[in-house]
Amino acid sequence: MSRVSRAVAQSASTVVALPRPVGSEVRAGDTVAIVEVMKMEHLVESPVSGVVTDVHVSVGQVVDSGDDLVSVQERAVAADTANDGGSFVDAGGRSDLAEVEQRRALLMDEARPDAVERRRRLGRRTARENLDDLIDEGSFEEYGGFMYAAQTARRERDDLIASTPADGIVGGLGRINGDRFGDNVSRCAVMSYDYTVLAGTQGFRGHQKKDRLLDIAERLSLPVVIFAEGGGGRPGDTDVPVIAGLDVMSFAWMARLSGSVPTVAVVSGRCFAGNAALAGVCDVIIATNDANLGMAGPAMIEGGGLGRFTPEEIGPMSVQTANGVVDLLVDDDAAAVAMVKRYLSYFQGSIDDFECADQTLLRDLVPENRKRVYAVRDAIEVLADSDTVLELRASFGVGIVTSLTRLEGRPVGVIANNPAHLGGAIDSDGADKAARFMQLCDAHGIPLVFLCDTPGFMVGPDAEESAQVRHFSRMYVAGASLTVPFATVVLRKAVGLGAMAMAGGSFHSPLLTVSWPTGEMSGMGIEGAVRLGARAELEAISNDDERERYFDAKVDAMYERSKALSAAAHNEVDDVIDPARTRSRLVNLLRSCPTDDHRRLPRRQVDTW
């Protein structure tokens, strides 16, 4: 005779469902009763397979621990007779999950074909398309996607869900360049304003999302990329318990990341006000040719009583590249995404595969004619790993060239004087450019190489009107604060304070200071020094030809004394080298330097300028 088993209550509870009536076949583990304890439902399972012979309780009845609920007479049952035991999941899937996926579908571009088409007419991509291109496939983890504009006081909720997805800013975490550098160092925080949602304006909930992501980026030490297209603050949000919103933390959070993690802004289309402010605190701004970037858009300018302007008249790229606001100019959205990947790669570590040009080309790069100009960018290209030179702010401070590159796969920064501009003299813009680049590399642990060919700082009343005393001195302050390894290579002229600024403040500040044979070291320009130092002798010579011969002889003598070999003999430089050996000397130096995680040092902010 088969035995009868009982399903019993495990604790004091209330019966809320009895899904198996008498006569039902069940398998061991099927639900035969559902009870509620402290507002939570618990499934009571059949201990054996068989047939329900008795139900001892009723729905709503309160039972104690150990009370009998259902009796089951044990016997074999067909494998397909039992069902899911009352799990409430139907063949079509869970309704709650379906609701989530339906809402998620409304976030995608496919749900808004009209908005996408408007972007197409402008030749632009959507926010999600840019992020899909930037982030490694399958790695994007979105935050705050279900937000919508805080405007329920004047618009229907369903309308807001459909037309203001993610409150106009798509953000999350993902990998960039993970195939090259691995999962750990490729993790980034990414955000993109969506111009199809209320012109990319900054909403209340969007600020909350951005604050959340920036906090996470700081806690995890993640680089941040932000696509900043948009019109600034949004006045139309109604569900907001604020007066002016001056307590928003987004700008403070973004600024706090300076010097802690690499930050990149992408500007395309129109970017004004709050959106521009977020871009402005980033390490680097990458912009498309058609972008307009300004702290005030047309409405704000008109509201200030300063006239009417079209967006295209405010901060075009012809202005914002020449004045140094934009670091890298590209053709379109696709090129901007590719540039983000390339820029970030320098902060993601070394690579194993590299090639370089024939280093003997450096021997003839500086002409024997000491007054003949040459292209210092050619020196950088030959010296560096092939196809790795990325120049920043090329149209600003053109007397200084600042580039990220690699030496045998290791990222380095290069600061070079440009003798094609003012003979390589350092002016205010060039000094600002160099000082900020030093800060950028130092903050993120990238060694520096200075290529020195300068007659010193720029001179004259016009130069002083540019506040040169302060601007030029930034190079000394930045140089004295460097914690990364750095070296100086003198290509030709190394004159006075300007040369010292190209060596962290002194030729003994770098770990290595070497000169090419073409190097010339002096306290001031040699011709000028002769004219000043020998003024009385020159004025005493009445014959013009004789005076010129005397001058030339004095200049030649001073040049002989100022040759690189003379400086090396007096310990002002460490060595005079064959230019073809420059790369090997620098690489050997870098191999000697520790590679500990630079981020363990105290945070150093990177000036926005």
CATH code at position 67: 2.40.50.100
Task: Give 562's DSSP letter.
Answer: H
Pair 103, 181 in one domain: yes
In a domain, 91, yes or no: no
116 and 256 housed in the same domain: yes
Q: Are residues 132 and 156 in the same domain?
A: yes
Please list, in sequence order, all residues whose beta carbon lies within 8 angstroms of the beta carbon of residue 413, skipping any fewer than 6 positions away: 402, 403, 404, 405, 437, 438, 440, 441, 446, 447, 448, 449
Q: Give yes or no: residues 390 and 509 share one domain.
A: yes
DSSP 8-state assignment for residue 239? S
CA 183 to CA 154: how far, in whole Å? Answer: 45
Average pLDDT of the residues in 139-149:
95
Q: Identify whether 193 is part of a domain.
A: yes
Last residue of a domain, one of 41, 74, 107: 74
Burial string for 161-186 (b: 16+ CB within 10 Å, else e) reads: bebbbbbbbbbbbbbbbbeebeeebb
d(CA 20, CA 59): 12
pLDDT score recorded for residue 90: 44
pLDDT recorded at residue 597: 52
**Same domain, yes or no, for 461 and 535?**
no
The total number of structural domains that make up the chain = 4
Residue 515 CA to residue 499 CA, distance in Å, equals 12
Contacts 24+ apart (CB under 8 A), 76-81: 76/49, 77/25, 77/26, 77/27, 77/49, 77/50, 77/51, 78/25, 81/25, 81/27
| Alpha helices by DSSP H, 281-427 | 298-303, 317-320, 333-345, 376-383
Mean of per-residue pLDDT scores for the chain = 91
Whether residue 412 sits in one domain with residue 382: yes
Same domain, 55 and 152: no
- Residue holding tokens 């403070």? 252
Asked if 219 and 156 sit in the same domain, the reply is yes
Q: CA-to-CA distance for 511 and 417, rounded, in angstroms?
A: 20
d(CA 104, CA 111): 10
CATH code for the domain of 240: 3.90.226.10
With respect to residue 604, please indicate whether it lies within any of the assigned structural domains. Answer: no
Q: Is 131 found in the same domain as 218?
A: yes
423 in the same domain as 541: no
Among 304, 322, 345, the domain boundary falls at: 345
For the chain, the distance separating the N- and C-terminal CA atoms, rounded to the nearest angstrom, is 91
Q: pLDDT tens digits, residue range 182-229?
A: 888 899 999 999 999 999 999 999 999 999 999 999 999 999 999 999
Confidence of residue 524 (pLDDT cuts 50, 70, 90): low
CB 264 within 8 A of CB 225: yes
Secondary structure (3-state) at 508: coil
In a domain, residue 600? The reply is: no
* Residue 555 confidence class, pLDDT cut points 50, 70, 90: confident
Give the model's pLDDT for residue 248. Answer: 82
Specify if 603 maps to a domain.
Answer: no
Mean pLDDT: which of 2-16, 91-105, 384-398 is highest? 384-398
Residue written as token pair 């702010």: 393
A 10 A CB-CB count for 26 gives 25
Identify the domain containing residue 135 by its residue range: 97-345
Q: Residue 411 — φ and ψ, nearest 5°?
A: -65, 140
Any domain includes 84: no
Structure tokens that stand for 307 in this block: 């006239």
Q: What are phi and psi of 398, to 5 degrees?
A: -70, -10
Using a pLDDT cut of 90, give the percent of the chain over it. Answer: 75
Residue 19 reports pLDDT greater than 80: yes
Residue 85 has pLDDT above 90, yes or no: no
| 406 located within any domain | yes
* 373 has pLDDT over 90: yes
Q: What is each CA distance from 327 to 391, 405, 457, in whole angstroms? A: 9, 15, 24
Q: Can you tell me the distance from the alpha carbon of 35 to that of 63, in angstroms, rounded to the nearest whole number?
A: 9
415 & 459 share domain: yes
pTM: 0.86
- pLDDT above 90 (res 116): yes
Examine residue 202 and state whether it is found in any structural domain, yes or no: yes
State the average pLDDT over residues 379-407. Answer: 98
Cα dihedral 163, 166, 167, 171 in deg (nearest 10): -140
Of 285-289, 302-306, 339-343, 535-539, the range with the lowest mean pLDDT is 535-539
Q: Which helix (H) or strand (E) holds 41?
A: strand 40-45
Q: Which residues of 116-145 are buried (b: 16+ CB within 10 A; e: fewer)?
A: beebeeeebbbbbbbbeebbbeebbebbbb
Band (pLDDT 50/70/90 cuts) for residue 233 is confident
Q: How confident is the model at residue 91 (pLDDT cuts 50, 70, 90)?
A: very low
What is the phi/psi pair of residue 248, to 5°? -60, 135
Question: Residue range 124-146: average pLDDT?
Answer: 96
Residues 337 and 375 in one domain: no
- End residue of a domain, out of 345, 379, 405: 345
